[in-house]
């Protein structure tokens, strides 16, 4: 078992760091870009750290993403946690559980997230549009701001207009343009300055804006309540849809690249694995289950001995790759399995296309709560188990 377990993950390493059509596509559970990229860059992984500049567009998807270098053109990023520290030369589109922008963006910014923070010292030269849970805007925005959220705290400087709708809004900023504020609770801090007219609504009724107005007026408008709430819901749906589609499209494109590379590196691997799966479906699933359960335990036991530490660390990295690339590998086994069931072997490109189709199907199924996850996990167990059984049998025949 020890000799055969690493096969599935070793197979994955061939796809890391390969340039395609002028752009660079990279992936990995933990990935650090420490060299400048002159063209577009597409990256995906569990933890991504972009240390150097990107000369074109950057599209990134992952668990935790930190961008320290500058991006010359557009930046599109989706992840659990997204941290931007460099400069973006054009538009920024970001979605994540937590999004923090600490750099400079030359043009517009579109953000959807659970917690969104525009930090002090950051500069957005275009418009800023946000849909989020907790939103903190502490930097300088030279365009308009359109924000929909649960809790919005605004500091810093706004050169354009402000349109904000949330459960709670607190204003401590200097706003040069007109303001439209809708909230169940609205708070105005002592550092707030409104240089143009304010139209507002809050659940508690009228608020005294006089101390914060500079040559402008404020008007309470009850009609804003209903219309803006509807707009806020539509904005949230739009942003979340954009984030979902961006993540899905990028995942499929990256998987397609991975599948194509692995398909050309292997000959009969997935066909032989699919034959084992057809002949021993239950045994394959059990073997895959044991692989995913036993490997972490084996790694932990190796860590307890000084001699086994290097092996355990290496095995841990490979195990991480096997988890990250589990859906593409499963899709390739499934494609060959269908060929065997039909008694017809497809050519290379038809096999790649069918594998991509199965990957998309697995991806969509995984979005179904509980039942979808169970289905995908069982498919992964069966696919990996069939690969391990196939390699184990070949090893025995060779010895």
Query: Could you give the strand order of the β-sheet that contains 193-194, starting from the edge strand earlier in sequence?
Result: 87-88, 104-105, 123-124, 140-141, 157-158, 174-175, 193-194
HSE-CB of 323 using CA atoms within 13 angstroms:
16
Task: Supply the pLDDT for residue 106.
Answer: 95
User: At 396, which helix (H) or strand (E)?
Assistant: helix 371-398
Tokens of 54: 């990107």
Contact 46, 29 (CB under 8 A): yes
Strands (E) located in 223-372? none
Spatial distance between the Cα atoms of 221 and 224, rounded to a whole number of angstroms:
6
Distance CA 206, CA 112 (A): 30
User: What average pLDDT values come out for the chain (399 residues) when binned by 10 residues?
Assistant: 37 34 56 86 82 90 88 88 94 89 94 90 94 91 92 93 92 94 90 93 87 89 68 61 68 79 82 90 91 83 68 71 85 92 83 91 88 92 91 76
d(C-alpha 152, C-alpha 172), whole Å? 11
Which pLDDT score, from 0 to 100, does residue 230 have? 55
Residues facing residue 117 across a β-bridge: 100, 136
pLDDT value for 123 = 95
Q: What is the CA radius of gyration of the chain?
A: 26
Secondary structure E strands in the chain: 18-20, 23-33, 41-50, 58-67, 75-84, 87-88, 92-101, 104-105, 109-118, 123-124, 128-137, 140-141, 145-154, 157-158, 162-171, 174-175, 179-188, 193-194, 198-202, 218-220
211 Cβ contact partners less than 8 Å away, ≥ 6 residues apart: none
Q: Identify the CA nearest to 359 among candidates 388, 392, 325.
A: 325
Own/partner pairs for 90-95, CB < 8 Å, 24+ apart? 91/126, 93/242, 93/246, 95/239, 95/240, 95/242, 95/243, 95/246, 95/247
Please count the CA atoms within 13 angstroms of the CA of 157 that sit on its side-chain side. Answer: 8
């Amino acid at each position: 078992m020890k000799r055969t377990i690493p096969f599935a993950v070793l197979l994955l390493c061939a796809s890391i760091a390969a340039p395609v059509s002028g752009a660079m596509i990279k992936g990995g559970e933990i990935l650090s870009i420490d060299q400048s990229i002159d063209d577009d860059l597409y990256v995906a992984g569990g933890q991504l750290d972009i240390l150097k500049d990107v000369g074109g567009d950057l599209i990134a998807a992952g668990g935790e993403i930190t961008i320290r270098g500058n991006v010359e053109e557009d930046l599109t990023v989706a992840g659990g946690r997204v941290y931007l520290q460099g400069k973006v030369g054009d538009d920024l589109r970001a979605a994540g559980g937590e999004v923090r922008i600490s750099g400079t963006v030359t043009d517009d910014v579109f953000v959807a997230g659970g917690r969104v923070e525009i930090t002090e010292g950051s500069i957005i030269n275009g418009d800023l549009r946000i849909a989020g849970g907790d939103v903190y805007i502490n930097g300088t925005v030279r365009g308009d701001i359109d924000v929909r959220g649960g809790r919005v705290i605004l500091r810093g400087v706004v050169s354009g207009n402000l349109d904000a709708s949330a459960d709670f809004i607190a204003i401590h900023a200097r706003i040069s343009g007109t303001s439209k504020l809708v909230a169940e609770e609205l708070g105005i801090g002592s550092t707030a300055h409104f240089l143009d007219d304010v139209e507002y609504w809050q659940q508690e009724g009228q608020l005294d804006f006089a101390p914060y107005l500079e040559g402008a007026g404020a008007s309470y408008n009850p009609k804003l309540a209903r219309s803006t709430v509807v707009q806020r819901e539509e904005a949230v749906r739009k942003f979340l849809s954009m984030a979902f589609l961006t993540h899905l499209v990028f995942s499929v494109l990256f998987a397609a690249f991975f599948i194509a590379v692995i398909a050309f590196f292997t000959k009969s691997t997935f066909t032989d694995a699919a034959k084992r799966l057809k002949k021993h479906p239950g045994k394959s699933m059990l073997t895959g289950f044991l692989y995913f359960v036993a490997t972490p335990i084996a790694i932990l036991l190796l860590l307890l001995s000084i001699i086994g530490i290097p092996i355990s660390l290496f095995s841990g990295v490979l195990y991480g790759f096997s988890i990250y690339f589990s859906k593409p590998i499963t899709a390739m086994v499934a494609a060959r399995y269908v060929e065997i069931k039909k008694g017809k072997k497809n050519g290379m490109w038809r096999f790649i296309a069918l594998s991509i189709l199965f990957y998309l199907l697995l991806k969509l199924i995984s979005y179904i709560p509980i039942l979808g996850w169970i289905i995908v996990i069982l498919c992964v167990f069966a696919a990996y188990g069939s690969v391990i059984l196939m390699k184990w049998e070949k090893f025995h025949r060779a010895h």
